[in-house]
Amino acid sequence: MIEPFAAVEVIAAKRDRNELSNEMIDWIVSAYTRGVVADEQMSALLMAILLNGMNTREISRWTNAMINSGERMNWSALDRPTTDKHSTGGVGDKITLPLAPLVAACGGAVPQLSGRGLGHTGGTLDKLESIPGWRAELTNEEMLNVLKSCGAVICAASAGLAPADKKLYALRDVTATVEAIPLIASSIMSKKIAEGTSVLILDVKTGNGAFMSDPARAGELARAMVALGTEAGVKTRALVTAMDVPLGLTVGNALEVRESVEVLAGGGPDDVRELTILLAREMLSAANIHEKDPADALKDGSAMDHWRRMISAQGGNPDAPLPTAKETHQVRALSSGTMTTMHALKVGVASWRLGAGRSRQGEKVQAGAGIEIHAKPGDLVNKGDLLFTLHTDEGARFERALESLEGAVGIVQGGVADRLPLVIERIEP
Ligand code: URA
């Protein structure tokens, strides 16, 4: 095949702050996926994009080129609308676990393609894999069957879905080009559009524990993604939500499953329950489904019933005891007062160092590792009160985790909680 461009022409165009033509974008994404463009050439282009940006047309074309690199899923065999949510990731963000069966219990179909954690943020699949027997890898046919019988499925994306993104994401990770808004927006939206959902609610996290620590940049990313989804015919809305403090009272795989089950049983921490209900209402109203209010489905047991069916359909035993770590270590307050802050990133890194996350793709995570949180900003604590319980299978990991927790909590006599509101902004087209 005669290639219509040379990679250097495309790199030079973006280096010189020119717009890339549609033809250039289609070609470079396809040629990179086919192995015709080398990693060093794509690295240079990604850095030029990070530095010089892309306009709306370029982002949209780049996203389409990534979608066209693989298969598109189709849910027309279902008798109810598909509605999904995507979070940009954070510390203790287990919302997908209670949310998918909750929305199913209220009449939606939720085809959740999820990922694994990398770095300090956890991954939904790692969390669910702590349930004995549960399987993340499903064929498209199995996925459809679980969706039909349970109303929700949470599984890994197949290798055929947006393969360009798989290659590009791995390259961005090692070339300091993850942070570019055009690249994040196209990466997330190419997968979600290829997944074939009719409705998508984006939970864009902001604060020190999120990708986009600055709320204004998070809003910019949210607007770019809402525009991409809308243009592709997906009803897309976004909430910019707080990730300056961990969500809930647990961070780590099995610990977060336990807390999700508490939410499904009608309890759980206020912030996790509130955000779960809020996102469920957004997913249902955008899909024009008004059968039942999500708060009622948590109270009457129907969300729990859908959870149990969904876990069983993927080989898991919802009644099996969850794995626990071999060793624990308690962290206590050094002074008395009001807890004013809890630094999500520091807590996330500590949990990661305890073995809950991985530092290289493919590494095994510890199911039982992580952190239980015993007090949150706004709570009064006395010197000696328990703040955190650390869990790991390898006691040698405590030291590095404790280093990360240094300065993670602020305690001030007569102080007040200094944290972002749970929802900072709501964006619709
Ligand atoms: N999640 C993705 O899938 N892609 C990004 O670029 C960032 C977060």
User: Is the Cβ atom of 118 under 6 angstroms away from ligand 1?
Assistant: no
Cα(188) to ligand 1 centroid in Å equals 5
Annotated catalytic residues are 86, 165, 172, 187, 191
Beta-bridge partners for 411: 339
Say if ligand 1 is within 6 A of residue 344 CB: no
Find out whether the beta carbon of 186 lies less than 6 Å from any atom of ligand 1: no
Please report where in the chains the tokens 């909750």 appear, as a residue: 102
CB 300 within 8 A of CB 116: no
Question: What is the whole-number distance in angstroms between the Cα of residue 219 and the centre of ligand 1?
Answer: 16
- Give, using CA atoms, the residue closest to atom 6 of ligand 1: 184
369 CA from centroid of ligand 1 (Å)? 25
Identify the pLDDT of residue 118: 66
Structural domains in the chain?
7-53 (1.20.970.10), 83-320 (3.40.1030.10), 327-412 (3.90.1170.30)
- Report whether pLDDT(249) > 70: yes
Nearest residue (by CA) to ligand 1, atom 7, is: 184
Q: What is the mean pLDDT of residues 77-99?
A: 96
Q: Determine the pLDDT at residue 122.
A: 77
**pLDDT one-digit tens code per residue, 292-334:** 999 999 999 999 999 999 999 999 999 999 999 999 999 999 9
Residue type, 131: I
| CA 315 – CA 313 distance, rounded (Å) | 6
The runs of H, that is alpha helices, within 154-252 are 163-173, 181-194, 215-231
Ligand 1, closest atom to CA 115? 3
pTM above 0.85, yes or no: yes
Q: Among the atoms of ligand 1, which is closest to the Cα of residue 184?
A: 6
Q: What are the strands, taking DSSP E only, across 104-192?
A: 110-114, 152-156
368, pLDDT greater than 90: yes
Distance 63 CA to ligand 1 centre (A): 13
Q: What is the pLDDT of residue 34?
A: 95
Percent of the chain scoring above 70 in pLDDT: 100
